[in-house]
Amino acid sequence: MGGCSKDYVNYLDRRFSKKVRDNVHGNIYLDPLSLKFVDTEQFQRLRDLKQLGLTYMVYPGAVHSRFEHSLGVFSLAGETVHRIKAQQGSELGIDNLDIQTVKLAGLLHDVGHGPFSHMFEREFLRQIPHGIKWCHEDMSVRMIDHIVDFHHIDIDAECLKKAKDMVIASTEHVSHKSVNEKHFLYDIVANGRNGIDVDKFDYIVRDSRACGLGCSFQIERLMDSMRVMGDEICYRDKDYLTIFKLFSSRADLHRTVYTHAKVKAIEMMFVDSLIKADDFLQISSKIQDPAEFWKIDDSILKTIEISHDQELKEARELIMRIKRRDLYQFCNEFSVPKDRLEHFKDITPQDIVCSQENGDIKLKEEDVVVCNVKIDLTRGRSNPLEKTLRAMRNSRYMIIASVICCQLFVKIGL
């Protein structure tokens, strides 16, 4: 397709679209079907979910939401599939339904996300009595069905099914795809094969910018070089360093932002507050039903803070401690030696208490919080670059694939 005709097609696409200005990707054009999802109370809820949860209490600029992140992933997903079609569309058989499906998956991949970033599912739900195993990807799939049914959205059944499969493509719950399926399309939004996907492209750049950090990863360079080989998205071997920067930038964000000692202290305090408030507010009882779950957002914190209910007294006191900067005290951090990673077991408050030496102060288990933090490159202890291109495997760049550190906090003043 020549340049003029391609521009004309883009013009036709945008003529019926709504333009949104994004501070990372510039103009984003929402097509009519995507707008039907965006203009629902369930999707608009994402405006009230901060992408980085409580991180803004340490990094004041980190107030961006999952709403703008979802629009960013939508834009990158559409750009990716359009570029692949322009280069290899005829040989791969990419059609308009494929394009619409990938864009929709990018838009809706976080529509079932819990409040306060990943703290909700990884900390709060696991610590309540009879801890619940729950993941936002599964809820996103259920929420998509709920939105379609509740708002009577007319959508092709095949498009809907594939979009939902793309949302959970990086989880163990993804359904089996037929041998004739275009597997590479499922790697664009949530890549379960090597972790290189547009979800990371967006949040790494967006989070870095919001926190005032530099980011050397270049989205455009990878987008220009991607090609489909053997039904998998591949990159040139000379782009090895760019891919390395993708994963190293993510690891740096984990070290400097997501697991910052003050951020973790605030998160652990709020987890304790949520646990104390759960019986009264019935938060955990609403996580299985999309019709109830969409009503849960970051406003929980303010609900607890301004409540006069006696049942929330202890939870409210913890919120006040956070606001007055009377935080759990960070005591120490221990990095697990590389040769012990394989057999390492999480440190518990009981381990800390039992290892106390004789002294004036005796800590009890309820006085101690231990965060076992794992920072890897999305593939555990494996090098994700091993699964990107065979030509890259002999590259001179070496990476540390997994690091575990234990952060110790005490809840009382010493």
Give the residue numbers marked as catalytic.
136
- 217: tokens are 């990863």
Q: How far apart are CA 283 and CA 278, in angstroms?
A: 5
Q: Say how far apart CA 66 and CA 63 lie, in whole Å.
A: 10
**How many helices (H) and strands (E) in the chain?**
17, 7
SS3 289: coil
First to last CA, the chain: 71
Q: Are 119 and 54 in contact (CB under 8 A)?
A: yes
Largest CA distance in the chain: 80
Q: Which two tokens stand for residue 262?
A: 């003050």
* Strand positions, DSSP E, 220-343: 227-229, 232-234, 329-335
C-alpha to C-alpha distances, 251 to 103, 180, 202, 236, nearest whole angstrom: 27, 36, 15, 23
Beta-sheet pairing, 18-22 with 26-30: antiparallel
* Rg, C-alpha atoms of the chain: 23
Buried b (16+ CB within 10 A) or exposed e, 80-104: bbbebbeeebeebebeeebbbbbbb
